[in-house]
Amino acid sequence: MNAIEKYEFDRLGYIIIPNILTDAEVTKLSAAIDAAEEDALAQVDRPPDKISAYGLQYRHNADKGYFVSGRREEGNTLVIEEFFNLDPAFDVLVDHAPTMAYIRQIVKERPTINNSEIRIRYPGNQTGSHMGGPVSWKHQYAYTPRGIDCMMVRMVYFTHDVGRDQGEFCVVPATHKSNMPSPYEGSDPDKEPGMIGLPVKAGDAILFTENLRHGGLTNRSRQTRKTLHVGYGPFWMKSQNHSTMDEEPYILPRTFARFTEEQRLLFRSHQSLLADSAGDD
């Protein structure tokens, strides 16, 4: 993270990072997302296995180790959580050196991955505005004697271009520093004053603090928008996926087995480290 990126992240609450993925990574991840979508669509007509605290209905594929909500239809989103279990093609994003160079600068305690979702937004879909201003301790942005000192942050990776009216990820810049919640009625990001869409190219990523007000503008195109979202926070923060909220990281033994020690550490919470050291006695 160079001095300009640091300044802009502090000032605005997000930065766009061009070309953080190589062309080869984009091709491989894009194919893996398409395969994950087809796999998940086969689950969505079953009765739900789990209902989140927000009322989202999830189907659990226990064999492949993911949870899916939503369905493929105009105006809807398919969200596949815990996608690292699904396909080794996604392993490249675990301990991804260019990503970690950013994360280590803004999460000051040992960072772990607390959220992983494939977000597939069909034409007509939008993501309602949320966050900004005073938020839960889990999402706070702070500047302390250690510098930028975030709780949860997220990296959104793009494997295809997202231009104007194609369901851009959107933000109200600088609301991570606001002292008040948004006073505007509703959560329609298309109508919210100050909300701006962020067009990007394949291979780019957007890094933002969860304290920032954000969402997704309506996808007015015929292109389905597909993105990979990976959340980070201090090691003692538990899962922030809606399907496994505040539980220990949900990584299948076979996923863990193929990881390097550095990759494993990104899923080792405080509790699992304590359990490991108890086992050493």
Ligand X SMILES: O=C(O)CCC(=O)C(=O)O
Instruction: Provide the β-strand partners of residue 231.
Output: 115, 154
Of 216, 233, 234, 249, which lies in the binding site for ligand X, with binding defined by CB under 6 A? 216
What minimum distance in Å lies between the beta carbon of 131 and ligand X?
8
The span of 7-15, 196-204, 208-216, 250-258 binding ligand X (CB under 6 A) equals 208-216
242 binds ligand X (CB under 6 A): no
Binder of ligand X out of 59, 119, 242, 268 (CB under 6 A): 119
Shortest-Cβ-distance residue relative to ligand X = 216
Is 226 a residue that touches ligand X (CB under 6 A)?
A: no
- Write the CA distances from 3 to 9, 101, 157, integer angstroms: 10, 13, 22
Residues 155 and 94 sit within 8 Å (Cβ to Cβ): no
Which of 58, 83, 84, 169 touches ligand X (CB under 6 A)?
Answer: 169
What is the rounded distance in angstroms from the CA atom of residue 86 to the CA atom of residue 63? 9
CB neighbour burial string for 106-118, b if at least 16 within 10 angstroms, e if fewer? bbeeebbbbbbbb
214 lies in the site for ligand X, by CB under 6 A: yes
Quote helix, strand, coil % in the chain, to nearest 5: 30, 25, 45
If binding is defined by CB under 6 A, does position 154 make contact with ligand X? yes
CA dist 206 and 204 (Å) reads: 7
What is the spatial distance between Cα 246 and Cα 237, in angstroms, rounded to a whole number? 8
Q: Which amino acid is at 168?
A: E
Nearer residue to ligand X within complex by CB, 127 or 255: 127
Burial grade of 78 (CB within 10 A; 0-12, 13-18, 19 or more): buried
Instruction: Kindly tell me which of 49 and 165 has the beta carbon lying closer to ligand X.
Output: 165
Count the site residues for ligand X by CB under 6 A.
11
Supply the minimum distance, in Å, between the C-beta of residue 127 and ligand X: 3
**Separation CA 134–CA 172 (nearest Å):** 14
DSSP code at position 161: -
Shortest spacing between CB 129 and ligand X, in angstroms: 9
Per CB under 6 A, 158 contacts ligand X? no
Of 56-64, 97-105, 214-222, 257-265, which part binds ligand X (CB under 6 A)? 214-222
Smallest gap from Cβ 41 to ligand X, in A, equals: 19
Among 61, 114, 127, 159, binds ligand X (CB under 6 A): 127
* Beta carbon of residue 133, minimum distance to ligand X (angstroms, whole number): 16
229 binds ligand X (CB under 6 A): yes
State the nearest-atom distance from the C-beta of 210 to ligand X, in Å: 7
Contacts 24+ apart (CB under 8 A), 259-264: 259/91, 259/94, 260/95, 262/95, 263/91, 263/94, 263/95
HSE-CB of 12 using CA atoms within 13 angstroms: 21
| Distance of closest approach, residue 46 Cβ to ligand X, in angstroms | 25
Contact between 132 and ligand X (CB under 6 A)? no
Residues that bind ligand X (CB under 6 A): 119, 121, 127, 154, 156, 169, 214-216, 227, 229
